[in-house]
Structure 1
């Protein structure tokens, strides 16, 4: 499901463009459902302070789908900003450049955690990365997936059906779950996995990164609120989403410890929680001066991500001081990303 928000009219005015310059009177943002509430908060603050500006249109498409929209080209029919719950990939940036999106600003806006959560009246599971990998991988350790109960993957876990509500394949949150939790367990449990990554990438992905597609893992689309609702009615299930959604629903959910570490502001901030990850926005430099409000929007974002700022009250975890300073400098100087730093 795609969520879209605009505080005023949601229709875009795509006027005639000259020499590929953008001619539109409102900012358009696509991408991550995790970053969505933070970007929305900045947009609301900007419109409250500048009522004459048209409200940004912000769409929750998921990071992967958002990248495709963002990188499709420059001009009024293409988004200005990408919300991303992971870093853009080298191959994705190459696609951007091929479509004329040559200068892109990378701004880390904060830190988040990919959390596993259950209802407060749930079984109080305590998992490690191996448990999660063996439960969710399509072909754990290169063998067909046969686990139906948590006790099948670890005898110390309860004999309860594996039922996980999570994001779709286009989601940066799902990418992060795979890269931060499943891949380390796969490579630790299968010594030849790292070599396989170089010699047979398709087989590596089949073993280490592909998530099972049966009823044990239920794709809930780009709708984290729906996952929260489902957990309330399925107390034995687990949900996968960003930390901010756990914070918003502490009255009915709690985080599942991973490798003995519970997801909290502190454990994600200091990196001790295995699912910690950076959050980004990507900005087309070519659109900065062409779309009204872009500079104000970015400056307001930078003014909001401090530890005592409004975004932390929405559930964002502030990035370290050095990261915030570097991001603020990127905004102030409109510094484009160096594509050679990507992987």
Structure 2
């Protein structure tokens, strides 16, 4: 989405709209489980620096966070939401319908949608996007026909892969990680298949036929708490997991990344996009709550600080891949100035 500077009238309207919010003394944040550890780190730093109550940060998933965030203005509604994808047009429409029309979008950095496995698993995992699709999709090509997925073991897909059951733990439909995985891995993997590449199929066909994850057991929806996936991988050496890079980065003693097309997930490959499933991460803030919810401006300033966002900052130490200097400076100026998303674009 594009942005436009707030007008004086818009600021005045926002201030009037938010007067009911003054009773709450803690910042309220919802949203993506992937963005959660970064926002939680900022919340802790903010509380340490200011002595203010630590913001309440809830991991609701990107879709769930957008729904809660867009329900209205005032003390009963959250101030920020984290997102592992950009806000959808339908979500923006819901915001506008409920009077949430003054919102700043912040692209804070990049993340890789990592596949990981226990370090106790001794196989050198390297999967193509096509193999990932064949393992996890509800429907795949079978003997020249589009049919229900018959594959139960990795070796069924390719004989070089282990003769172990396909078990992959991943996010639910409400998660932005799920949305991004479907777009970046499933759709791209589907397009690699000879059946699709050699057929007369357009983007609409891909969206309709290549988006559904299988529900017969090999793909396991593990909820919005990615730490539960980490725990399961630690206890089941043959299971794979899907989550943001920060969870792999923080658990390198237990887990190892799965290469995709011979590229390992790390800071460099995510930043230069050579890792095939990298994505931007966001937060959204209600400008109507700025200057009304105590500490909100200071919290946003801490999130935009060089200590947090720069290379070597405390968010990169937790796995966030930073923006380059030019993009980061533009982000900091725009977010601190409260530049709002344009509802028309």
Whether the TM-score (by the shorter chain) exceeds 0.5 is: yes
Separation in 2 of the partners of 1:157 and 1:89? 37
Q: CA deviation at 1:140?
A: 2.3
User: Which of 176, 181, 184 in structure 2 is aligned with 1:177?
Assistant: 181
Separation in 1 of the partners of 2:102 and 2:138? 38
Q: CA deviation at 1:35?
A: 0.8
Q: Which digits, 9 at most, give the CA deviation of each residue in 1:104-155, with x for residues without a partner?
A: 1000111111000001121332101000111111112542111111122223
Gapped regions of structure 1 (runs ≥ 5): 1-16, 198-202
Q: Does the alignment pair 1:195 with 2:202?
A: yes
Count of residue correspondences: 319
Separation in 2 of the partners of 1:67 and 1:215? 29
Separation in 1 of the partners of 2:44 and 2:203? 48
Check the 8 A contact 2:117/2:241 in 1, yes or no.
Answer: yes
User: Which of 296, 307, 322 in structure 2 is aligned with 1:294?
Assistant: 296
Check the 8 A contact 1:80/1:287 in 2, yes or no.
Answer: yes
Indicate the residue corresponding to 2:119 in structure 1.
120
Indicate the residue corresponding to 1:3 in structure 2.
none
Indicate the residue corresponding to 1:329 in structure 2.
333
Q: Does the alignment pair 1:36 with 2:43?
A: no
Gapped regions of structure 2 (runs ≥ 5): 1-14
Q: Describe the shift of the 1:65–1:194 C-alpha distance in structure 2 as closer, same or farther (beyond 3 A).
A: farther
Separation in 2 of the partners of 1:167 and 1:154? 25
Q: Describe the shift of the 1:194–1:289 C-alpha distance in structure 2 as closer, same or farther (beyond 3 A).
A: farther
Q: CA deviation at 1:85?
A: 1.0
Q: Which digits, 9 at most, give the CA deviation of each residue in 1:194-245, with x for residues without a partner?
A: 5361xxxxx6545211111122011111111111111111111101111111
Judge which range, 151-160 or 241-250, deviates more: 151-160
Judge which range, 298-307 or 141-150, deviates more: 141-150
What SS does the aligned partner of 1:108 have? Answer: strand
Q: CA deviation at 1:93?
A: 0.9
Check the 8 A contact 1:231/1:237 in 2, yes or no.
Answer: yes
Q: CA deviation at 1:326?
A: 2.1
What SS does the aligned partner of 1:214 have? Answer: coil
TM-score (norm 2): 0.88
Separation in 2 of the partners of 1:263 and 1:235? 19
Matches within 5 A, 1:229-248: 229-248=231-250
Q: Describe the shift of the 1:282–1:193 C-alpha distance in structure 2 as closer, same or farther (beyond 3 A).
A: farther
User: Which of 204, 224, 227 in structure 2 is aligned with 1:225?
Assistant: 227
Q: Does the alignment pair 1:164 with 2:168?
A: yes
TM-score (norm 1): 0.88
Check the 8 A contact 2:187/2:206 in 1, yes or no.
Answer: no
Q: Which digits, 9 at most, give the CA deviation of each residue in 1:312-343, with x for residues without a partner?
A: 112211122232122102222100113455xx
Matches within 5 A, 1:1-40: 19-21=17-19, 22-23=21-22, 24-40=24-40
Separation in 1 of the partners of 2:70 and 2:258? 36
Indicate the residue corresponding to 1:5 in structure 2.
none
